Amino acid sequence: TGRHDAERAAALLAAYQAVRPLTAAERELLPAMLRAGALRVWLSRLWDVYLPREASMLKAHDPTHFERVLQGRVQHPVRL
């Protein structure tokens, strides 16, 4: 669905921070980085739909999933 899963996110962050704690700046910027990642994937999928490359193995994926993910990240920023 692309919705933020708070329980999984907390588990991922706890495991990561057991190895190297996030700095205050990293914690502050993490929601923006999640939006940036969703934007990057959405744009790359749009690119493949509207400007396809010649490749026998390439199949364009539906970009609407990551459009929804991005909208969710913008409308409901992740709280850490």
pLDDT at 4: 85
pTM score, two decimals? 0.82
* pLDDT at 66 (0 to 100): 95
Residue 44 lies in a domain: yes
Calculate the CA 28 to chain-centre distance.
Answer: 16
Structural domain boundaries enclosing 32:
6-75
What's the total number of domains in the chain? 1
CA distance 57 to 36: 27
Give residue-wise pLDDT tens across range 22-71. Answer: 999 999 999 999 999 999 999 999 998 898 888 767 788 999 999 999 99
CA dist 59 and 8 (Å) reads 30
